[in-house]
Structure 1
Amino acid sequence: MKQVYDIIIVGAGPMGIAIGIEAQKNKLSYLVLEKGTLVNSIFNFPKNMTFFSTSQKLEIGEIPFVSINEKPKRTEALEYYRRVVEHLNLHLRLYEKVESIEKKEDFFQVKTTKGNYTAKNIAIATGFYDQPNRLNIPGEELPKVKHYYDEPYAYINQNVVVVGAGNSATQVALELHQAGVNVTMVVRDNKIEPNVKYWIKPNIENRIENQEIPTYFNSELAEINPKSVKISTPQGLIEIKNDFVLAMIGYHPDFEFLNKIGVTCDSNKFNRPNFSPDTHETEIENLYVAGVVCGGNHTSTYFIENSIEHATAIVNSILSKA
């Protein structure tokens, strides 16, 4: 007889792992499905990335996260979450993408790239890092346009435009500048975003003020060509030499997937999934959302440290129904 899981969790990031831990603690049968590797989003962060939070705030499952730095780096986080999964022997299946979720009577039928599963409950914890926001301008599909950044060495002796003024954009621009790359910033607003990390903001502002990093404020990219870009500025349209464009303008949840499985979102610009704030249950009975996906387009609403409680809320809701 085919196993019926109490809950299937889609996404093996910190939030998905936390739900798995809570389910295991309460003796619920569960399975975590992930289309990539463990904590796939963190794996795809820049190699030298430093978290804004302290290691203590990134802990899950009451397992200490010991870091040699006040704020841990990407590699430390990858090793921590790997050890959590190994220590607790969590039930995960990696590189297995969920293709569809369909509710039939009281059960969910889950189809993946490698099999089919049945569950009483579903938790969607897919994050947003896999879906970059688009520029929606001519030339965006050129191979020189990147929505992700790893390290500066691929851009040595190149003319690089960084689009954006948030944490990612400012950190990327500084790293490129420090590596001797000819970097230019294009910023839609009239200043660097106020919520940029406190150790980055004064640095990037000083580099801009000293004209070490040429920056066009109140401006937007208008067109990308193989050897140049056109920028719409308050002074008019200008064209500069360009080898790469790094569009660091953020990411969004996979709304197409949410819509496909029947999860509705609000109609305002944030496009947040509709769910109960107490239980995180959506309008589909026994289907829950957790983590940063709950914020819709407002991706700065939820972080690892303020999302862990979602796991408890979801499992408590399932237990109360049982």
Structure 2
Amino acid sequence: MNINYTYLLYFVPAAIGIAFYLRRRHRIETEHTRSFYESLESGLTEPPSLHPVIDNALCIGSGCCVRACPEHALGIIAGKAVLTNPSACIGHGACHAACPVDAISLVFGTERRGVDIPDVNPDFESNVTGVFIAGELGGMGLIRKAAEQGRQAMEAIAGHKDGHADHDVIIVGSGPAGISAGLSAMEKRLRYVLLEQESSLGGAVFHYPRNKVAMTSPVDLALIGKMHFKEVSKEKLLEFWQNVVNQTRLKIHYSERMESVHRDGDAFVVVTTKARYRTRTVLLAIGRRGSPRRLEVPGEDLPKVTYRVGDPARFAGQRVLIVGGGDSAVEAAIACADYARSVHLSYRSEVFSRVKVKNREALEQLRVAGRVIVLMPSIIRQISPTGVMLEVGGEPQELANDSMVISIGGTLPTELLKSIGIRFETRHGEKKQKKRGAGT
């Protein structure tokens, strides 16, 4: 029997390579399958906004989309791309651009959960003439595109000559869209006011977990030029925005929340918690988070009560109470445990129903170690400067307390906008309609 060793010389390495590839592929698919079922177990199956839908008839399982996603929301299962971690998806759209066979569509909402998207034209003007919408509220969560929309909306606003008012535009929100719009207003010498309901800038970015990747593409800003980084952590991005504000002297009215907008002749009147403004136009860049949901209990307006953690190091040596039962509250408790003197987590239900498995496990480890005390079911009854009155398991309990973070979600501004007359379209997974500046 003659053996052709030349063939073996090529066949054996190829066979070994294929074996290693298949083994690695199997391991990766196993990890992605585990992530998928963890999402199911946690009840986190609905993406918050813009997200990919994969056409299995076209998908070839290349994995390009998986590698492109900075949020690790996609995986490969049975040779096809799958949204394995829906709640992590924030609409980057990088997967759509990376797919070599155009098997991915970007959509809003799902069959089970609709998403209300305001009706705007290519200049981001709503059906109410003079009221513009840019950024996350319009369904565009990607930071680069939100900033572009803010700039483009301001170009259209600069062309509005109708109306007699003290201001050309009131910009509501100091996230990427709002800051970009404010810079454009300065560049065009418009009379503007930029409102921010929080005590610091950043919008939805401020609520991201620590070190979260917050941007994947450069963007042009008026007065500044192009931002050259492609991937940046939340902290670095917020530092960049603050430097932009300082450098350009962009004026932001912090801790001033918009309460109403109404037409007054040929202009609008914007009423806030601090003032009334008469303006020719309004740009809403307030995001979909809206205003933080309140407990509505005595003492909630005390200075020690906040609605976001920010830098957990500021709680060093303090007795901290976190209120809430979602991932944001659990992540806040985990983060504060590294700095605070003590951390209590209060939740009204008996179990966490929509918390990622990894967060549950991390919280359980801290609970067992005595670094986080979980109070379930519990209800906050009253807040005082030095303590908090709760009802835990039906029994009254008082906690000594220095700081309190309420993380129970937000109130969407939909009703306020509808009162202005803005029309909404409820999307249930239909393909995203492209607008100028909103392409992938």
Q: Report the 3-state secondary structure (helix = DSSP H, G, I; strand = E; otherwise coil) of the residue aligned with 2:337.
A: helix
In the superposition, relative to structure 1, how do residues 75 and 46 fare at CA in structure 2: closer, same or farther (>3 Å)?
farther
Alignment of 1:148-297 (within 5 A): 148-196=308-356, 200-234=359-393, 236-254=395-413, 257-258=416-417, 260-263=419-422, 275-277=424-426
The sequence identity of aligned pairs, in percent, is 19
Following superposition, the deviation at residue 188 of structure 1 comes to 1.6
Q: Are 1:19 and 2:149 counterparts?
A: yes
- Does the 8 Å contact 1:164/1:186 carry over to 2? yes
Q: Which residue of 1 aligns with 2:115?
A: none
In the superposition, relative to structure 1, how do residues 137 and 227 fare at CA in structure 2: closer, same or farther (>3 Å)?
same
Following superposition, the deviation at residue 311 of structure 1 comes to 6.6
Higher relative contact order (CA 8 A, sep 6+): 1
- Does the 8 Å contact 2:323/2:406 carry over to 1? yes
Letter in 1 for 2:210: M
Describe the superposition over 1:80-102 as per-residue Cα deviations: whole angstroms up to 9, x where unpaired. 8999xxxxxxxx99659876342
The alignment covers a number of residue pairs equal to: 255
In the superposition, relative to structure 1, how do residues 65 and 102 fare at CA in structure 2: closer, same or farther (>3 Å)?
farther
Identify the match of residue 34 of structure 1 among 171, 175, 181.
171
Letter in 1 for 2:267: Q
Q: Which residue of 1 aligns with 2:268?
A: 110
Superposition RMSD in Å: 4.8
Identify the match of residue 75 of structure 1 among 220, 231, 236.
236
Following superposition, the deviation at residue 160 of structure 1 comes to 1.4
TM-score by length of 1: 0.59
> CA separation in 1, counterparts of 2:153 and 2:316?
48
In the superposition, relative to structure 1, how do residues 146 and 29 fare at CA in structure 2: closer, same or farther (>3 Å)?
same
Q: Which residue of 2 aligns with 1:100?
A: 261
In the superposition, relative to structure 1, how do residues 25 and 191 fare at CA in structure 2: closer, same or farther (>3 Å)?
same
> CA separation in 1, counterparts of 2:394 and 2:345?
16
Q: Report the 3-state secondary structure (helix = DSSP H, G, I; strand = E; otherwise coil) of the residue aligned with 1:183.
A: strand
Gap regions ≥5 residues in structure 2:
1-122, 126-130, 137-142, 161-167, 177-200, 221-226, 245-249, 271-275
Q: Report the 3-state secondary structure (helix = DSSP H, G, I; strand = E; otherwise coil) of the residue aligned with 1:276.
A: strand
Letter in 1 for 2:424: F
> CA separation in 1, counterparts of 2:291 and 2:424?
21
Following superposition, the deviation at residue 164 of structure 1 comes to 0.9
Q: Which residue of 1 aligns with 2:132?
A: 9
In the superposition, relative to structure 1, how do residues 32 and 60 fare at CA in structure 2: closer, same or farther (>3 Å)?
farther
Q: Report the 3-state secondary structure (helix = DSSP H, G, I; strand = E; otherwise coil) of the residue aligned with 1:135.
A: coil
Q: Report the 3-state secondary structure (helix = DSSP H, G, I; strand = E; otherwise coil) of the residue aligned with 1:45.
A: helix
| The structure with more radius of gyration | 2
Q: Which residue of 2 aligns with 1:133?
A: 293
In the superposition, relative to structure 1, how do residues 172 and 310 fare at CA in structure 2: closer, same or farther (>3 Å)?
farther
Q: Report the 3-state secondary structure (helix = DSSP H, G, I; strand = E; otherwise coil) of the residue aligned with 1:206.
A: helix
Letter in 2 for 1:76: L
Q: Report the 3-state secondary structure (helix = DSSP H, G, I; strand = E; otherwise coil) of the residue aligned with 2:280.
A: strand
Following superposition, the deviation at residue 145 of structure 1 comes to 2.0
> CA separation in 1, counterparts of 2:208 and 2:399?
29
> CA separation in 1, counterparts of 2:350 and 2:263?
46
In the superposition, relative to structure 1, how do residues 94 and 206 fare at CA in structure 2: closer, same or farther (>3 Å)?
same
Letter in 2 for 1:67: E
In the superposition, relative to structure 1, how do residues 49 and 19 fare at CA in structure 2: closer, same or farther (>3 Å)?
same
> CA separation in 2, counterparts of 1:225 and 1:213?
21
